[in-house]
Structure 1
Amino acid sequence: MGEKVEVFGAWFSPFSRRVELALKLKGIQYDYIEEEIYKKKSDLILKFNPVYKKVPVFVHGGKPIAESIVILQYIDESWKDNPILPQHPYHKALALFWAKFLDDKVLPSLMKARRSGEGKDREEAIGEAREGLRALEEELKGKKFFGGEKLGFVDIVANFIAYWSQAMDEAFGVQILTSELQNLPRLTQWCHHFLQHPIVKHNLPPKTQLLALFKSQFVDTN
């Protein structure tokens, strides 16, 4: 695996950070290219990811791969040392299920809850977010990380819960996730373990800059 490894990402993106975290956990050297995705998308992003036109894009030996979960699978299959996915097919399938659940249900429901106005829509959105978070709480029973005692695939995908979503709450001036975590001790403890992991904590975007970006891009200040 001597081919050049490149990551096209954005400093604030939890999806880009997933890819970088997996590479760092495996000790893989890579070149990082910062993309100004809120300005003009680069020609390389349009070339390497013509379907979604977004980061992250992972380029290995000149061959591009898009979508963070797909990239994580590719990395784990290409570099066998320090696996992030379980080796048994059944447990691997479960990890992929929870990763999809995080991106398809938990993340959208948290964003919907923050953006919904007052009243019934907001209550329904919060209820949907709460249901997803409680499922994660149950999955963590008896475990330090989602995969057991070692940080792995599902933990990497869940990175937005530990850091980005709480910053988003602060930027929006709401307490969606922050409030729910008060009743979810396992998920709260998981957040602590995740953020204290030596590789994770040295590779998080600065909180003040993240808040400023969220306020400028997502929060209506009018």
Structure 2
Amino acid sequence: MNAVHCTDLSVAYRAEPVVRGVSLSVPQGVVMGIVGPNGSGKSTLLKTMLGLVPTLSGRAEFFGEPLSRVRDRVGYMPQRTSVDWDFPTTVRDVVLMGTYGRLGWLRRPGRAEKELAADAMAQTDVTDLAGRQIGQLSGGQRQRVFLARTLAQQPDLCFMDEPFQGVDAFSQQAIVDVLRQLREDGKTIVLVHHDLGTVPDYCDQVTLLHAGRLVTSGEVHTHFTEDNIRTAYGLAGGLP
């Protein structure tokens, strides 16, 4: 059974199509990179899978079920720019929020949830930042904190929107280490990625988009080819 299966997903913003009839599958236990030029629909496709953007057509299934039936198995790390960093809360509280989905809104986090949050902060090397306000963090620290929040959910499937955007070398390596550990543990990761040079290092599978359309999707060693990259980036000559 695939972790994700999408059929004919289409989306429009103000009557302008941005995702056009995309169908793809993500096997369990892999890292899938969604790659393409700016404006190709990468983040929109991710949000559409998760039901955060209304569709014109199509559907997405997770482990063979609609999202509503397996929501506690699916985690989401949004783009850093979509977060209100002026909100007065600490790193510890943000990470603890990752446990709320399993608790429900009427229960307060207890010892077990606090231990999950502590473990997640240790995995992403932000334990020493636990009491700091989130607005005081660097770009790389912010990404690691929101990765920790995602880990605290204990999802089987993680969606990450540009997790390496604006991070320092230390944070990038910390995130890569977590991704590899998740994969070793049998988890599935779907991430929007922009650095073509690291796709073969970070990802097992790749989905290439051009102008909202699917160019190709599958294993990196067979689908991440020069011809497919040129098609995705609209190039007749060399690669970007």
| TM-score normalized with structure 1 length | 0.33
Higher strand share goes to which structure?
2
Q: Which has the higher contact order (CA 8 A, sep 6+)?
A: 2
